[in-house]
Structure 1
Amino acid sequence: MAMMFRFSLNRYSANELMTQALTLANYARFFSDPFYLGVLGKTIAVAMISTFVALVLGVPAAYFLARLSAPRLKSALILLTVIPLLMGNSVRTAGWMVLLGDRGLCNAILIFLGLTAEPVRILYTGKAVLIALVAAILPYMIISLQSVLEGIERVYEEAALTLGAHPATMFRRVLLPMLMPGIFSGSLLCFILAMNAYATPLLIGGPTFQMMAPLVYQQLTKVFDWPFASSMAFVLMAVTIISVVLSSVFVQRRYGRV
């Protein structure tokens, strides 16, 4: 880490790996170029949207798993949730490329249902990246929420409903505050994974949909500008840490210590 930070302060030279002079030119180049700022903003937006969608989908799925009374069925469903995590990220991404391609399963279903006469362009778009990212981080969200819900006794929900609370009110006033540790840890983990995603935006988004991690790799291996690649990596890490700290402060002030 220290060596990478030292590289980020380096002056680019095709003949020298490490120069003696220290400079902030790489950081100035990043923050003065609208292209790189746009890629950073897009990365943050994609990470936030995918985390939010994973949370919306993960809460009911985790609640169903936690309240399921059949032990064998629960174990089977949890296993199905965890299995994607045992596969390599590149393998999962390749599967999504097959599904979302012009001749993939998704387009075949759309054509079969008569919703479109020709294949719809899904692959190599921002929507495809969001779909694949949500699928990649959703198991982490479900596991985080389900583990917390398992420790919440159902008597609290039953008491609120018995006293006349609407299910939505019960969730907001009773279940949500107790679920905040799982929401925070799951959202934190999903946001970090989405911010630093490499294979998914590279393979699913293609060359037209740039995110920070593939751009760092491109600068490192194709342009061979190690100082600028190091500065980009540190900017990505700093933005991720700042986002995590700010969200942690907000959650602690809003819901207390989680």
Structure 2
Amino acid sequence: MPVPSLLLVIFGLCLPLLLMARYSFAEFDPRDMAIQGLTLENYAKFFTDPFYRDVLLRTVGVAALTTLLCLILGVPAAHLISRTKSARLRTILILASIIPLLMGNAVRVAGWMVLLSDRGLVNESLLFLGLIDEPIRIMYTLSAVLLSLVAVLLPFMIITLQSVFDRVSADYEDAAATMGAKPATAFFRIFVPLAMPGIYSGGLLVFILGMNAYASPVLLGGPTFHMMAPAVYEQAIEAFNWPFAASLAFVLMVATLILTVASSLFLQKRYGRM
């Protein structure tokens, strides 16, 4: 690695992580933000408080569900793009996939707030059609958070998958069809195993982004829907408890790494290569 790149990694990544690690073991003094003392109290508080354990479990669950939904929607979409022969149509489909990324995350989530509120477009349309008698509660629910996260993260899934699917020759599926295999059989028995490295990469990217989601749980989940990233913000900015915020951030990072490595080992054992 060239020296400038190495220095960038050291000063841009390693030193901040080391500083955060040191903060996570510091004693909290609301009158002094300086790093002082050395204690395990911050981690003990996290692992002994059921509230924060539930926050971590909810974060993992939401990230996993988001990843699953993005895979269900993203794999067929990316496969369609990669097998589209018309260059113009292919370009249109790719642009349609990445256009949402041109807007900020908070802006997109705010748009979902307009759609899903009690007097939003969804409820007003259902009321107009006579399908409901009164607005249904969509905001501040798990469904609203998942819907927003899938909409936000699906482009990342499609882009990652499509670039890998392009390298899987369509000849394999054509050969399977020639041998009498149905399209669904050829897709799941031939194409999916060949494309598994890309599927894993896309799933991993979406899972990591889901674990660190902030705008969707805050704006669409409401004050009672707690996830790890908003919890870190609350402790650091609102409570000014930087040591505990650092410990929450470190727990989130370590949990993400453990789940990532575990899934990689499982898939490597299952498919023999990743």
Band the TM-score falls in, shorter-chain normalisation: over 0.9
Residues matched between the structures, number = 258
Q: How many Å separate the matches in 2 of 1:118 and 1:184?
A: 43
Q: How many Å separate the matches in 2 of 1:246 and 1:110?
A: 44
Which residue type is aligned with residue 113 of structure 2? M
> Does the alignment pair 1:76 with 2:92?
yes
1:198 equivalent among 214, 217, 221: 214
Match of 1:53 in 2: 69
Q: Which stretch has the larger CA shift, 168-177 or 98-107?
A: 168-177
CA displacement, residues 129-171 of structure 1 (integer Å, 9 cap, x when unaligned): 0000011110111111111111122111011111112222212
1:64 equivalent among 46, 60, 80: 80
Say if 1:7 and 1:18, in contact at 8 Å, map to a contact too.
no
Say if 1:10 and 1:19, in contact at 8 Å, map to a contact too.
yes
Residue correspondence of structure 1 range 161-176 to structure 2 within 5 A? 161-176=177-192
How many Å apart are 1:19 and its aligned residue?
Answer: 4.7
Q: How many Å separate the matches in 2 of 1:221 and 1:120?
A: 34
> Does the alignment pair 1:21 with 2:72?
no
Q: How many Å separate the matches in 1 of 2:157 and 2:224?
A: 29
Q: Mind listing any 5+ residue stretches in structure 1 that lack a counterpart?
A: none
Match of 1:137 in 2: 153
Say if 1:124 and 1:209, in contact at 8 Å, map to a contact too.
yes
Residue correspondence of structure 1 range 1-258 to structure 2 within 5 A? 1-258=17-274
SS state at 1:191 partner: helix
SS state at 1:11 partner: coil
Q: Which stretch has the larger CA shift, 163-172 or 126-135?
A: 163-172
Q: Which stretch has the larger CA shift, 50-59 or 115-124?
A: 115-124
The 3 A distance-change label for structure 1 pair 191 and 206 is same
SS state at 2:220 partner: helix
Say if 1:66 and 1:149, in contact at 8 Å, map to a contact too.
yes
Q: Mind listing any 5+ residue stretches in structure 2 that lack a counterpart?
A: 1-16
Q: How many Å separate the matches in 2 of 1:237 and 1:121?
A: 33
SS state at 1:176 partner: helix
Q: How many Å separate the matches in 2 of 1:245 and 1:110?
A: 45
Q: Which stretch has the larger CA shift, 235-244 or 140-149?
A: 140-149
Q: How many Å separate the matches in 2 of 1:14 and 1:198?
A: 25
Q: How many Å separate the matches in 2 of 1:181 and 1:27?
A: 35
How many Å apart are 1:232 and its aligned residue?
Answer: 0.4
Q: TM-score, normalised by structure 2?
A: 0.91
Which residue type is aligned with residue 201 of structure 1? P
Q: TM-score, normalised by structure 1?
A: 0.97
Q: CA RMSD in A?
A: 1.1
Q: How many Å separate the matches in 2 of 1:203 and 1:20?
A: 35
SS state at 1:205 partner: coil
Q: How many Å separate the matches in 1 of 2:125 and 2:74?
A: 25
**Identity level (%):** 57
Q: How many Å separate the matches in 1 of 2:208 and 2:35?
A: 32
CA displacement, residues 152-202 of structure 1 (integer Å, 9 cap, x when unaligned): 221110111111122222122210111101101100000000000111111
